[in-house]
Amino acid sequence: MNRLAILALLAVIIPFLAQASSCDASSKWDQAIAAKGGRDKLESLRTFFWSGEMTVWQGLVRRKHLDQMLYVFPDFAWSYQENSDPGLGRSASHIHYDEGYSLNADHLRSDSYKYPLPNKQYMGSLPALLMETRWMKPKLGGCNLDDTAHATLVEAEFSGWQYDFHFARGESLPSKVVQHASGQIAKTEWTLSNYRQFGGIMLPTMFRQRDSIGILLNLDMRYEINPEVPSGLIDSDPTHTMAPEGWRKLKSRK
């Protein structure tokens, strides 16, 4: 191979190598955990509440969209949604991860109905928000430096679901997380920004979600770390908690 051919080959290869090179996933992950507040703080979580709200204009009518979730680790979650579309209305769910089902209630009926959970425990946005807890640990995969996108990408697996954590150059906390199932094209993407400290943990107050069918939410977020939860919540019916922060309305057993 002559000198001109070698130079031509290097001109093609070198930019490609510069665009994507490997890094240490464990080191980058530990750096992010430290920036969030530390592993001890994350592992001290017993309960975790988040509330996301946005305003939607439908013509000249302004409507509110509200999503809320309360986790009682490791096996239960309460959720509530107030949809901006009046036809969809309000709904609440009590998710029993250990028993493999959820109880659901909505504004169209007076009773709740049982729904089986998928085989793989679906954690939704929780890894994007917290990264890890005592009960939620990632299996780290590849780590790549993408100079073109000025970002670091760390691959992590949670209960069979793949999450790609994107870190902007020079940043320790993720700015984007993409979730997908192995071998599937469908994915959900979250964009995280405006981090603030809640109970010693850094969490995004601006949270943008785009799902696999193109539904887009831009939520203003707030959080509570280890809120006290009524002892009767787990055994209650979601029809009794179908309201904003409805989990607070129950009384604890004596």
Domain boundaries, the chain: 21-249
pLDDT band at 109 (very low <50, low <70, confident <90, very high): confident
% of the chain surpassing 70 pLDDT: 84
Q: Give this prediction's pTM.
A: 0.86
Q: Does domain 21-249 have CATH number 2.50.20.10?
A: yes
Residue, of 168 and 187, whose pLDDT is higher = 168
The answer on pLDDT for 13 being more than 80 is no
pLDDT tens-digit profile of 139-185? 999 999 987 768 899 999 998 889 999 999 989 999 999 998 766 66
The answer on pLDDT for 23 being more than 80 is yes
pLDDT, position 22: 76
Q: What is the mean pLDDT of residues 244-254?
A: 88
% of the chain surpassing 90 pLDDT: 66
DSSP string, the chain: --HHHHHHHHHHHHHHHHHEEE--HHHHHHHHHHHHT-HHHHHT-SEEEEEEEEEEEETTEEEEEEEEEEEETTTEEEEEEE-SSTTT-EEEEEEETTTTEEEEEETT-SS-EEEEPPSS---TTHHHHHS--SS---EEEEEEEETTTTEEEEEEEETTEEEEEEEETT-SS-SEEEEEETT---EEEEEEEEEEEETTEEEEEEEEEE-TT--EEEEEEEEEES----TTSTTS-GGGS-STTGGGGSPPP-
User: Residue 77 CA to chain centroid, in angstroms?
Assistant: 14
- Listed residue (112, 92, 139) closest to 249, CA to CA: 92
